[in-house]
Amino acid sequence: MANTKKVCGPGAVGQGRHLMGAERGRVMDTKQAILRLADARGVTGYESPAGDVVTALFADIVDEVRRDSLGSVIMLKRGASPEPSAKIMFAAHVDEIGMIVSKIEDEGFLQVRMMGGVDRRILPSMEVTVHGRRDIPGVIGAIPPHLQDSTEKDKSWKWEELVVDCGMSADKLREAVRVGDVVSFDRAGIELANNRVAGKSMDDRAGVAVMYECALELQKLRHDCDVYFVATVQEEVGYGGSITSTHGIMPDIGIAIDVGHGDMPGVPEHRTLKLGEGPAISYGPHVHPHIFTKLKEVAGERGVPYQVEAGTSPRGTDAYAMQMTRSGVATGLISVPLRYMHTSVETLAVDDVKKSGQLLAYFASAVDSRFREGLTCF
Instruction: Determine phi and psi for 229, rounding to 5 degrees.
Output: -105, 125
Buried b or exposed e, range 231-256, using 16+ CB within 10 angstroms: bbbbbbeebbbbbbbbebbebbbbbb
Burial label for 299, CB within 10 Å (0-12, 13-18, 19+), is: buried
The length of the chain, given as a count of residues: 378
37 within 8 A of 54, measured Cβ to Cβ: yes
**3-class DSSP state of 365:** helix
C-alpha triplet 1, 23, 6: angle, nearest 5°: 25
Strands 87-93 and 226-232: parallel
Q: Hey, which residues are catalytic here? A: 235
Q: Report DSSP state, residue 161.
A: G
Burial label for 333, CB within 10 Å (0-12, 13-18, 19+), is: buried
Helix or strand holding residue 282 (H, E): strand 280-283
Q: Which residues share a beta bridge with 283?
A: 310
Cα dihedral 357, 34, 243, 41 in deg (nearest 10): -170
